[in-house]
Chain A
Amino acid sequence: MRHPEDTQPPTPDQLALLADRATFIRSETVRLAAIAGAGHYTSVFSIAEILATLYYGQLRLTPDEPRDPDRDRVILSKGHAAIGLYPVLADLGYFEPSALDDYTRLGSPFGDHPDMKKVPGIDFSSGSLGHGLSIGVGMALGGRLGGRDYRTWVLLGDAELNEGQVWEAAMSAAHFGLGNLVAVVDNNQLGIDGMTRDTMAVEPLRERFESFGWEVQRVDGHDVGALLAAYAALPDTAHRVPQVIVADTVKGRGVRAMEYSPDWHVGNLVGEDYDDVMAEIAAGLRPLEARA
Chain B
Amino acid sequence: MSEDTTTLPEGAAPDAAAAAAEAAQEQSDIFNGTGRTGLRNARSSDGNDTRAIPAFVFGEELADLADVDPRVVVLTADLARANRAVDFAERHPDRFFNVGIAEKNMITVAAGLASCGYVPFAATFASFAALLGCEQIRTDCAYPKMPVRVVGHHSGVSMGFYGTSHHSPEDLGIMRTIADLTVVCATDANHLRALLRASLDHPGAMYLRLGRGRDRDVYDEVPDLTIGKAITVRPGDDLTIIATGTEVEPSLRAAEALAESGHSVGVIDMFTVSPLDTEAVLSAAARTGAVLTVEEANVTNGLGTAVAECLFQSGTGQPVRFRKVGIPDAYVPVGPPAALYAHYGLDAAGITKTAKEMLV
Contact = CB atoms under 8 A, between A and B. Distances in A.
Interface residues of A, number: 30
Contacts of A125: 139-140, 143-144
B144 A117 contact: yes
Given A69-B116, A168-B99, A131 B140 contact: yes
A141 B120 CA distance: 12
A199 interface: no
Contacts of B135: 128
Interface string A157-188: 00000001100110110011000000000000
Nearest to A124: B115
Interface string B92-123: 00110101101011001111111111101000
B124 interface: no
A134 interface: yes
B154 interface: no
Interface string B201-224: 000000000000000000000000
Given A69-B117, A168-B105, A124 B112 contact: yes
B144 A176 contact: no
B53 interface: no
- Determine which residue in B102, B112, B115 has the highest number of CB atoms from chain A within 10 A of its CB, and name it: B112
Given A117-B144, A131-B139, A142 B113 contact: yes
A128 B118 CA distance: 23
A211 to B, nearest CB: 17
Given A134-B109, A134-B112, A145 B144 contact: no
A116 B113 CA distance: 15
Contacts of A176: 97
Contact of A165 (B95, B100, B104): B104
A172 B112 contact: no
B73 interface: yes
- Determine which residue in B104, B115, B118 has the highest number of CB atoms from chain A within 10 A of its CB, and name it: B115
A136 B110 CA distance: 10
A131 B139 CA distance: 9
Interface string A120-141: 0001110110010011111111
Interface string B140-168: 10011100000000000000000000000
Q: How large is the interface on B (under 10, 10 to 19, 20 to 34, 35 or more residues)?
A: 20 to 34
Contacts of B94: 145
B112 A136 contact: yes
Interface in A94-153: 115-117, 123-125, 127-128, 131, 134-143, 145-146
A164 B118 CA distance: 26
A219 B234 CA distance: 69
A69 B115 CA distance: 10
A33 B328 CA distance: 49
B240 interface: no
B118 A172 contact: no
A140 B143 CA distance: 21
B136 interface: yes
Contacts of A69: 116-117
Given A145-B73, A145-B95, A172-B99, A135 B111 contact: yes
B314 to A, nearest CB: 32
A82 B140 CA distance: 17
B113 A139 contact: yes
Given A145-B94, A165-B105, A176-B97, A138 B116 contact: yes
Given A69-B116, A138-B111, A139-B115, A171 B97 contact: no
B144 A138 contact: no
A171 B112 contact: no
A164 B105 CA distance: 10
Contact of B109 (A117, A137, A143, A145): A137
Contacts of A146: 116-117
Nearest to B136: A131
Nearest to B110: A138
B105 A169 contact: yes
B118 A142 contact: yes
Contact of B102 (A117, A142, A171): A171
Contacts of A139: 112-113, 115-116
B204 to A, nearest CB: 11
B105 to A, nearest CB: 4
B139 A128 contact: yes
Interface string B73-97: 1000000000000000000001101
A76 B22 CA distance: 56
Nearest to B109: A138
Contacts of B117: 69, 142, 146
B139 A127 contact: yes
Interface string A68-90: 01000000000000000000000
A45 to B, nearest CB: 26
B115 A168 contact: no
A123 B112 CA distance: 10
Contacts of B118: 142, 145
Interface of A: 69, 115-117, 123-125, 127-128, 131, 134-143, 145-146, 164-165, 168-169, 171-172, 175-176
13 contacts: A123-B115, A125-B144, A134-B111, A135-B111, A137-B112, A138-B113, A140-B112, A141-B109, A146-B116, A146-B117, A164-B104, A171-B100, A172-B102
Interface of B: 73, 94-95, 97, 99-100, 102, 104-105, 108-118, 120, 135-136, 139-140, 143-145
Closest A-B pairs by Cβ, 9 of them? A138-B112, A142-B116, A134-B108, A168-B105, A168-B102, A138-B109, A135-B112, A138-B113, A139-B112
